[in-house]
Amino acid sequence: MNLNQITIPSLDVKKASEFYKTLGLILIVESLPRYVRFECPDGNATFSIHQVENLPKGDGITIYFEEDNLDDYVSYLQQKGIIFTSEVEDKPWLWREAHLKDSDGNQIILFKAGKNRKNPPWRVNTSN
């Protein structure tokens, strides 16, 4: 099994689409005002946005995008006017992260984890 598609809700798909294009996602399907789909510049994953009348309540959605050159990428996005809620910092779980929100308030975490994403030192041993 492979996770290959995520869809998030938006009140304004066009506005959200512009935001994610600024992040560097590649638009592959445009059916405004109700739907857009992107492919990630690395890997095979796709990411889509669909129009809703109301956003989910509570903590909402958190989206993680991994970037090998995180510090340079964050600087690049800041120069394009993207506002971050936290600067790039090292986390105790061995990831380097920066946080921001999209136009619908979804939490986005840009990170670099390398081998620690799937193989942290505390990984559960799955061999029997």
35: three-class secondary structure by DSSP: strand
In this prediction, residue 125 carries a pLDDT of 85
pLDDT in tens, 55-107: 988 888 999 999 999 999 999 999 999 999 999 999 999 999 999 999 999 99
In this prediction, residue 84 carries a pLDDT of 98
Rounded mean pLDDT of the chain?
95
Asked whether residue 54 is domain-assigned, the answer is yes
Residue type, 18: E
Q: Which domain does 37 fall in, by range?
A: 5-116
Distance, CA of 94 to CA of 71 (rounded, Å): 15
Judge whether 27 and 14 are in contact, CB under 8 Å: no
Judged against a pLDDT cut of 70, whether residue 128 lies above it is answered with no
CATH of the domain at 54: 3.10.180.10
For the chain, how many structural domains are there in total? 1
